[in-house]
Amino acid sequence: MPLGLLLVSLLLSGCSGMERSEREKLRRRNATGEYVYRNRDDYFYPIGAPVHTPRAPYPWESDTNLPRITKEFFRCKGTPLNPPLVGVSDTPLPDCEGSPRHGLPILRGKEGVYPILTDLLNYLQKKTGKRVVITCGHRCPVHNGYADPTQENRFSKHQIGAEVDFYIQGMEDRPNEVVGLVMQYYQETPLYQKEKEYLEFKRYEKGTVATQPWFNKEVFITLYHKDEGRDADNRHPHPYVSLQVRYDRDTRERVVYDWAKANKGYAHN
């Protein structure tokens, strides 16, 4: 570095150091201190316990923005894109060709499912303001065997539009509350008032799940925990609720699995 630049830098650095020293002397000379005294009758205002304030729902979380559940939500989830099952029969077991190739069960001359199922699910959406996710609605016999090839599942009411599996978004780990709301539907619906067989739920003691199912005259409620009821349509990790129709109030008939209804009672496209 040239000698001139070196001298200039030394002068500048020296001046800045002197300025800082002078500022510090001035600060100390002007600084004052005093004791802080507390009067005998001084007190602190009490701090209340924190109170949880629920978050206001977003616009899209309102029940007015949730789609109304119709029969279309129950369409069979089978697809020929699923690989055939190997080891459950002598030959590989393929899935069905999917809902584009077949429709829903025929009930009283129309394609659909038992109305109490859609009524209950729409009630749950309105009460909770949260979306009901149907994991399994109607199953054609082919997809029913593919989704769950066990012997017990051969008589599933999914095949006749009388059963649905679902959970509620935001309440995945609170299935007992969902069951309680299903029961509340009967308490609040004028159609069922003063009808003891609908208002009172009993426990089913012969169930194979950890929580004993509930039933009244019309529906049978099963709660499946995270390690129960898993099949091709229920691969999610959440507990879920299954509703089965036991009695058709309109026709005054018991609802039971029937081979003809399951195999011939749905529309083919």
**Tokens encoding 45:** 């205002």
**Tokens encoding 196:** 């003891």
- The CA distance from 73 to 118, in Å, is 9
Name the DSSP letter for residue 218.
Answer: S
Contact 192, 119 (CB under 8 A): no
Q: What is the CA radius of gyration of the chain?
A: 34
Q: How far is CA 269 from CA 74, 102, 146, 158, in A?
A: 16, 5, 20, 19
Contact 238, 172 (CB under 8 A): yes
Residue type (1 letter), 208: T
The tens place of each residue's pLDDT in the chain, 269 residues long, gives: 566 655 556 555 555 666 788 888 888 888 877 887 777 777 777 888 899 888 887 766 666 678 999 999 999 999 999 999 998 888 999 999 988 889 999 998 899 999 999 999 999 999 999 999 999 999 999 999 999 999 999 999 999 999 999 999 999 999 999 999 999 999 999 999 989 999 999 999 988 999 999 999 999 999 999 999 999 999 999 999 999 999 999 999 999 999 999 998 877 76
Q: What is the pLDDT of residues 84-119, one digit of tens each?
A: 999 888 899 999 998 888 999 999 889 999 999 999
**Tokens encoding 96:** 């069905």
- The CA distance from 259 to 263, in Å, is 6
**Tokens encoding 252:** 């005054």
- The CA distance from 255 to 211, in Å, is 24
**In sequence order, what are the beta bridge partners of 106?**
111
